[in-house]
Every structure is written in structure tokens, then in C-alpha cells.
Amino acid sequence: MATSPTIDGITEALEAWAPPGSAQDYDNVGLQVGDANRSVDTGLLALDATPQVLDEAKQLDADLIVTHHPLLFRPLDGVTADGYVSNLALRLAEAGVGLYSIHTNLDAAPGGVSFALADRLGLTDVGFLDGYEDTLYKLAVFVPEEAFEKVRQTLANAGAGRIGDYEACAFAVEGTGFFKPGEDTTPHIGEAGGDVEAAQERKLEVEVARWQLGDVLAALQDAHPYEEVAYDLYPVHQKNSRAGLGTLGMLDTPMPLSAFLDRVATQLDADSLRYAGTDDATIERVAVCGGAGSDFIGTARGAGADAYVTADVKYHEFFNVLDTNGDPDMALIDPGHYETEALTEALLRDWLADRFPTVTWHRTDTRTSPMQTYVPS
């Protein structure tokens, strides 16, 4: 009989897909409540942690709830029965149900929330709308010839050199390194306190994401034969091709905005839509961002999108798609925060079921959004 995975084993797999270090700095992702060593036989997926979701987990005898939105955004003064967040955290702990949240790191991951939203709306040729900036580093390390292949492979295995859909990307150039061993050293060649040595080396250069630096540098120290490893590390000012926010894709068949609005409402189970646009405008290139994505209105326009679907758009932000005549040159559509992200429940359920088939995974039956829409008859 197969052994049940632990919470830690499940979260390790999730974090390989969506590293916590790629989350926004305001966010709080990871295990929020529970014992990481606990075995999981049944899991429940929900957009939010709510009392109703906890009740559902207890009925299912679930060991773990995985949510997109964290329950614990900010530190608590105490875990007591007072207050919505504190009370629910206490009830989770008392019930022995773990809570893990994968939020803006899943937003930033390939195949993450916005990719699922694009798929739901029928987009093809989908890629990131905006790649992460200031998250890449170039690591240059000097390696003796005989150890080069071991170091190169070790760094690749640790996650260095990943560019787009390519892995183990690296560049090398040959040269000569010089050093004089000190009295208390154990040099790879030469003798302690000896003369200046010359070594045939290769300079190995690899690209590393910020959230992988720790693992890559630790692997470098383990694999490199030198007592003191000589390396340079400097920021790369270009966008990360493996992490970003929002997506951009194409409809198989162009359609008028009125038809596209109907598709959005139907596919996202939205009772209503807020939008700016001309109903007979032709929609073909579409940008999307699950959740609050109004910061990327300009990015979507710059990418040539005919429509941008996101949520939490403020009144004045709708003016940002108007041309000098006051006419929309891109449709801006807001179906609602919950509506653009509820599909995360199915995304996570399917992803986890594929990798942990011994666990019974359930998508919640609870609509976790506290917001309702009133449409007068």
C-alpha cells in the first residue's frame, strides 16, 4: 500500500512550481496552520479559507486545505476566539486541519492563475503579459578544468541557467587563474605558504532567479574543489522569462466585443460585468490577469491587446483606455475578483491529483466570496 504524502512533501512540490520567493513582498504564502509532518489522505481546494470551507473539510475528514488567498496576511496579536481571522485560525488548529496558501507566487508561475484564466476564455499562443523585472542575477564562477563539468551540472540541477523553456543554459570561456596560498590554507594545487600558482580555469556564467540564489550558491560551494570559491554575482536588468504577471493570447476567431463579453460572463459565471469599450469593436488579441490587475492596463495597451480582462478596476482607471477623443481604444472588462480567480480551485485540484494520486482531492462546494451582486428585475 502506498504511503500517504506529508504536508511538507506536497508543499515542496507546489513550491518547485511556484517558489515562495517569487511572491510579492506584501504577501504571506506557505503553511499558515498545521504540522508539516502530518500525512495527507484527503485535501480540499478553495479560493479562500472560510468557516464554511472548514466545516466542509471536517465533513470530508480532510487533513489539508489549500487556498489561493492567505488567511494570515498580517501578524496576529494572538490566536484567540475573537475576530474573524484569529477565530478561524484557532478553529483550524483545534480541528487538526492544515492550511497552506499559494497566492502571488502562483500568479507569477508558468501555468498559474492567469494561464488558467486565458485557457478558460479560449485563448491560444499564451505567454506572460509582463515578465518580472529585477529578479535575475548573473553568476560567474572560475572553475579548474578537471572540475568544470561537475560544477556546471550541479548548478544546472540546482536551478541555474533556466531561460524560457530551456534549462542548463551556460557560457564558458577559458583562461588562467593566479593565486598565492596563505600559510593556513589547504590549496587545490600548490602548497600552503608557497609561491604564486597558475591554474587553467574556465569562467562559467549562468543566469539565476533571485529565489533560487540560496540553493544555487550552496550547491556551488559543495561541488567546487577550491577551499575559497572565486565568483561574481551581479543583477541583470532584463525581464524574467519564467515568472511574470498576467497573460496575453489570441482568440481562434475574432469576434465583436458584445460576443466576447457574453463569453466572459458565461465562462466565469459572472452575474454582471463592468467594462469600457465599443460593443462592435473586433476582439482578437486578449490580455488577462486574475485578481487585481489594474496596474497592467498600460502594459496591455502597449502589447496591442484589443481587450483586457482583470478585476478590482477603480472608476478613474477606466479612463485609462480612452483615446484623445474619449473613445476606448482597448476594451477593459472587470468581471470581479472572485470570478477571475475561482478557477484556481480546479487548477490546483487537477495539478495536485496528477502528482499525488493517493490523496483524494476535492474542490470546495462553497462560494467563498462575501460579495453579492444585485440585478434588479
pLDDT in tens, 189-223: 999 999 999 999 999 999 999 999 999 999 999 99
Q: Which amino acid, residue 312?
A: D
Nearest to 212 by CA among 140, 161, 171, 147: 161
Nearest to 57 by CA among 348, 369, 366, 351: 366
Nearest to 43 by CA among 27, 67, 24: 67
pLDDT at 1: 61
Sign of CA dihedral 182, 183, 185, 187: positive
pLDDT at 377: 81
For range 11-37, the mean pLDDT = 96
Q: Residues spanned by CATH 3.30.70.120 within the chain? A: 134-238
pLDDT beyond 90 at 374: no
Rounded to whole angstroms, the Cα distance separating 111 from 87 reads 34
pLDDT beyond 90 at 41: yes
For range 28-43, the mean pLDDT = 97
Can you read off the three cell numbers belonging to residue 289?
490577469
Q: Residues spanned by CATH 3.40.1390.30 within the chain? A: 7-103+342-363, 113-131+243-335
pLDDT beyond 90 at 75: no
Q: Where are the beta strands (DSSP E) in 196-238?
A: 197-209, 231-236
Query: Are 57 and 97 within 8 A, CB to CB?
Result: yes
Sign of CA dihedral 168, 169, 174, 180: negative
CATH match of 7-103+342-363 with 3.90.780.10: no
> What CATH number matches the domain at 134-238, 3.40.50.620, 3.30.43.10, 3.90.1150.10, 3.30.70.120?
3.30.70.120
Rounded to whole angstroms, the Cα distance separating 331 from 274 reads 11
Cell 486578449, residue? 286
Instruction: Count CB atoms within 10 A of the CB of residue 268.
Output: 21
Kindly report the average pLDDT of the chain as a whole number.
96
Q: Residue 138 carries which DSSP code?
A: E
pLDDT at 266: 98
Segment 144-165, tens digit of pLDDT: 999 999 999 999 999 999 998 8
Rounded to whole angstroms, the Cα distance separating 127 from 114 reads 10
- SS3 state of residue 338: helix
Rounded to whole angstroms, the Cα distance separating 200 from 237 reads 31
Q: Which amino acid, residue 169?
A: C
For range 303-314, the mean pLDDT = 98
Distance of alpha carbon 282 from its chain centroid, rounded?
Answer: 32
Rounded to whole angstroms, the Cα distance separating 147 from 228 reads 15
Q: What's the predicted TM-score (pTM) here?
A: 0.92
| Percentage of the chain modeled with pLDDT above 90 | 94
Rounded to whole angstroms, the Cα distance separating 113 from 274 reads 21
At 247, the pLDDT band (50, 70, 90 cuts) reads very high
Rounded to whole angstroms, the Cα distance separating 330 from 336 reads 19
pLDDT at 376: 85
Segment 338-357, tens digit of pLDDT: 999 999 999 999 999 999 99
CATH match of 113-131+243-335 with 3.40.1390.30: yes
Nearest to 156 by CA among 173, 144, 139: 139
